[in-house]
């Protein structure tokens, strides 16, 4: 089982998002970066699948040179190979991103070791385009399921489960395939020390695709205007319970 | 203008998210426009659609296409673009809406704008495609993006948490079309083959009261008082991401960007600091009350009321007070 996991480097925002003065980006001077949450789970899922069925995990990201950091995170967890589609720092749209991921899958197939499964996050935490996985699947002519919270693979068949209005629906299709996952499919492991050391030394295969414009063009980012006011303090500790009880009564939520 | 809108069903009627998408789509279509609903399954009562200003309903009955098949649904929309000359195709930004619209984007080679808050046609370029001025959500609504969308038709999903479902001022005259779709080989390769029945009990997404627990709960054994309070108030427990990442509670209880967006009357956030990804999941609560030992926690600038104190003391005391009140009533 050859699996390619596609991950994205996103800013780690804590209590607040700040936009740069030119309105083009999230201000990351005070923030770190991390792998987008759904994709952390995609990496974990790929490792678990190869632990059960054998095979190898490759990890890919499209991003600036610093995105190699997120590839090394995945290598430390157990991915065996990393591919960086290196950009000049401009933001890429979902159409071109999908084309370049599909191009990597074809390169690998041409090299005689094609992927059986591509795993992505359901959507990136930052841009939230909800479409890269589906577009990759179309480019390759592979079946695709999105928002998946459970994967079983038997022979060449994938059984993928997702939540639907509090219940569950099941999709069954053949490999090769594209599956996008959501956080909750598993609980990602922490990297081991030997894993970290291995990741530090690992070579990263790098390509430099050409940026291109898309039909959807960002003009500016802004924080929505909401009324941010400080909460009215009802009191301290258990002394506040009578006031809290009165409030719940006024809200009409008491039995 | 002609606007197609995917309408998902919930039981016998249109899903709430789809009513919100229809409200948005009616605005885009304009007062003299055509608003066409696309419905897979037994069509809901015509009056319900007409009330939302729907002028045409394209119904794909189960005999034509049974169950949910994302690629096939996208193919049907692509066919209807040809048949109607639609200027825009919209769907609610639900799991299914997003997935079908992504397939439609890939099938047509057009861009797709996810989770739009507004969309206004700014005119066709001379000899070019239509252009739209849109506002869409990033970071699950924590950021807004102003963007230009150049595409004919425009493809977009609607950020349903920002649009209330509002019927039209006057109902439209509705024409129902039994649509026979032309599918391609492989369109049904991925389809929902089994839908488990809805589990009993109150769901996090629709609960009227949510009692939230965060890092301050301290560990997997600290949730019993929150569970008891939630159950007394007819609500459910929701948790922050750290709680599910630590494995204290199952992920299905997570409120936030990577969990569930909640819309309760009351969200009682206990021991939750208020990371912005968590706020993305609870900002639509009508009232937020925080119980936190730290008076400078970020949650206090999102909450309406707060109790400063240890949740392990406050919540059991509140439970006791509610029970005492019930006994005396």
Specify the pLDDT at position B44: 77
Tell me whether residues A138 and B232 touch, CB distance under 8 A: no
Averaged pLDDT, B52-63? 94
- B197 contacts in chain A (CB < 8 Å): 167
Tell me whether residues A128 and B98 touch, CB distance under 8 A: no
Averaged pLDDT, B276-302? 94
Tell me whether residues B275 and A182 touch, CB distance under 8 A: no
- A32 contacts in chain B (CB < 8 Å): none
Tell me whether residues A131 and B101 touch, CB distance under 8 A: yes
Best of A41, A145, A182, A216 to substitute, by most chain B Cβ atoms within 10 angstroms, is A216
Closest approach of chain A CAs to the CA of B144, in angstroms?
5
Tell me whether residues A235 and B274 touch, CB distance under 8 A: no
Q: Are B80 and B4 in contact (CB under 8 A)?
A: yes
Tell me whether residues A15 and B303 touch, CB distance under 8 A: no
Tell me whether residues B307 and A235 touch, CB distance under 8 A: yes
Q: At residue A89, does pLDDT exceed 80?
A: yes
pLDDT bucket at B43, cuts 50 / 70 / 90: confident
- Distance in angstroms (rounded) separating the CA atoms of residues B312 and B325: 21
Domain ranges of chain A: 2-207
Chain B residue nearest residue A13, CA to CA = B276
- A26 contacts in chain B (CB < 8 Å): 143
Specify the pLDDT at position A123: 98
Specify the pLDDT at position B195: 67
Tell me whether residues A238 and B309 touch, CB distance under 8 A: yes
Q: Are B106 and B132 in contact (CB under 8 A)?
A: no
Closest approach of chain B CAs to the CA of A190, in angstroms?
11
CATH of domain A2-207: 3.40.50.620
Query: pLDDT digit string (tens) for A32-80?
Result: 899 999 999 999 999 999 999 999 999 999 999 999 999 999 999 999 9
- B232 contacts in chain A (CB < 8 Å): 255
Specify the pLDDT at position B74: 98
ipTM above 0.90, yes or no: yes
Q: At residue A226, does pLDDT exceed 90?
A: no
Task: Catalogue the E-assigned strands of chain B.
Answer: 2-7, 9-10, 13-14, 34-40, 56-60, 88-92, 113-124, 130-138, 143-150, 154-158, 175-178, 192-195, 209-213, 236-239, 266-270, 287-292, 305-308
Chain A residue nearest residue B150, CA to CA = A215
Q: Are A136 and A101 in contact (CB under 8 A)?
A: yes
- A10 contacts in chain B (CB < 8 Å): none
Q: At residue B328, does pLDDT exceed 60?
A: no
> For all residues of chain A together, what is the average pLDDT?
95
Domains of chain B, CATH where assigned: 2-178 (3.40.50.620), 209-328 (3.40.50.1220)
Closest approach of chain A CAs to the CA of B170, in angstroms?
31
Would you give the DSSP letter of residue B37? E
- Distance in angstroms (rounded) separating the CA atoms of residues B60 and A29: 52
- B270 contacts in chain A (CB < 8 Å): none
Query: pLDDT digit string (tens) for B135-190?
Result: 999 999 999 999 999 999 999 999 999 999 999 999 999 999 999 999 988 999 99
Tell me whether residues B233 and A17 touch, CB distance under 8 A: no
Tell me whether residues B142 and A138 touch, CB distance under 8 A: no
Specify the pLDDT at position B199: 58
Q: Could you tell me the pTM of the whole model?
A: 0.94
pLDDT bucket at B314, cuts 50 / 70 / 90: very high
Out of A172, A219, A251, name the one closest to residue B148 (CB).
A219
Tell me whether residues A218 and B150 touch, CB distance under 8 A: no
- B245 contacts in chain A (CB < 8 Å): 187
- Output the furthest CA–CA distance in chain A (Å, rounded): 71
- Distance in angstroms (rounded) separating the CA atoms of residues A172 and B34: 38
Specify the pLDDT at position B217: 97
Residues 6+ apart with CB under 8 A from B304: A231, A232, B287, B288, B289
């Amino acid at each position: 089982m050859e699996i390619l996991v596609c991950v994205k480097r996103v800013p780690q925002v804590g209590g607040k998002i700040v936009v740069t003065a030119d309105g083009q980006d999230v201000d990351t001077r005070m923030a770190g970066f991390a792998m987008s949450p759904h994709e952390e789970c995609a990496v974990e899922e790929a490792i678990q699948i190869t632990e059960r069925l054998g095979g190898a995990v490759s990890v890919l990201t499209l991003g600036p040179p610093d995105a190699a950091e997120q590839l090394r995170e995945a290598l430390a967890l157990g991915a065996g190979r990393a591919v960086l589609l290196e950009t000049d720092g401009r933001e890429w749209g979902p159409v071109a991103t999908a084309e370049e991921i599909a191009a990597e899958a074809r390169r690998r197939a041409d090299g005689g070791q094609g992927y059986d499964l591509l795993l992505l996050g359901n959507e990136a935490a930052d841009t939230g385009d909800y479409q890269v996985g589906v577009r990759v699947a179309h480019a390759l002519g592979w079946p695709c399921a999105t928002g998946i919270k459970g994967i079983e693979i038997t022979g060449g068949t994938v059984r993928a489960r997702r939540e639907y209005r509090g219940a569950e629906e099941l999709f069954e299709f053949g490999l090769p395939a594209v599956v996008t996952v959501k956080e909750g499919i598993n609980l990602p492991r922490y990297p081991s020390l030997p894993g970290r050391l291995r990741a530090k030394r690992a070579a990263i295969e790098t390509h430099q695709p050409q940026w291109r414009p898309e039909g959807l063009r960002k003009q500016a980012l802004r924080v929505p205007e909401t009324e941010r006011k400080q909460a009215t303090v009802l009191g301290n500790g258990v002394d506040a319970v009578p006031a809290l009880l009165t409030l719940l009564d006024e809200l009409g939520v008491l039995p | 203008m002609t606007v197609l809108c995917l309408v998902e069903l919930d039981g016998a009627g249109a899903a709430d998210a789809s009513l919100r998408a229809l409200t948005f789509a009616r605005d885009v279509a304009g007062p003299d426009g055509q608003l066409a609903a696309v419905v897979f399954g037994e069509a809901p009562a015509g009056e319900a659609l007409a009330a939302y200003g729907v002028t045409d309903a394209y119904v794909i009955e189960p005999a034509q296409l049974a169950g949910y098949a994302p690629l096939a649904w996208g193919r049907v929309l692509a066919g209807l673009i040809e048949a109607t000359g639609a200027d825009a195709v919209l769907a609610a930004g639900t799991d299914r809406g997003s997935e079908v619209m992504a397939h439609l984007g890939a099938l047509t080679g057009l861009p797709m704008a996810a989770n739009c808050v507004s969309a206004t046609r700014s005119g066709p370029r001379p000899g070019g495609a239509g252009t739209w001025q849109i506002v869409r959500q990033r970071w699950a609504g924590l950021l807004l993006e102003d963007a230009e969308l150049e595409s004919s038709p425009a493809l977009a999903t609607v950020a349903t948490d920002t649009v209330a479902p509002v019927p039209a001022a006057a109902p439209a005259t509705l024409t129902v079309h039994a649509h026979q779709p032309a599918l391609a080989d492989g369109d049904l390769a991925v389809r929902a083959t089994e839908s488990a029945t809805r589990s009993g009990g109150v769901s996090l997404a629709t609960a009227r009261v949510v009692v939230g627990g965060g890092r301050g709960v301290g560990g997997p054994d600290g949730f019993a008082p929150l569970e008891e309070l939630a159950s007394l108030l007819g609500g459910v427990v929701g948790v922050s991401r750290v709680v599910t990442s630590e494995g204290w509670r199952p992920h299905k209880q997570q409120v936030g960007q990577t969990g569930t967006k909640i819309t309760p009357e009351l969200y009682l956030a206990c021991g939750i600091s208020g990371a912005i990804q968590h706020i993305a999941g609870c900002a639509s609560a009508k009232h937020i009350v925080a119980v936190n030992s730290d008076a400078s926690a970020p949650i206090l600038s999102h909450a309406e009321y707060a109790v400063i104190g240890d949740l392990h003391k406050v919540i059991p005391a509140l439970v006791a007070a509610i029970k005492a009140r019930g006994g005396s009533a």
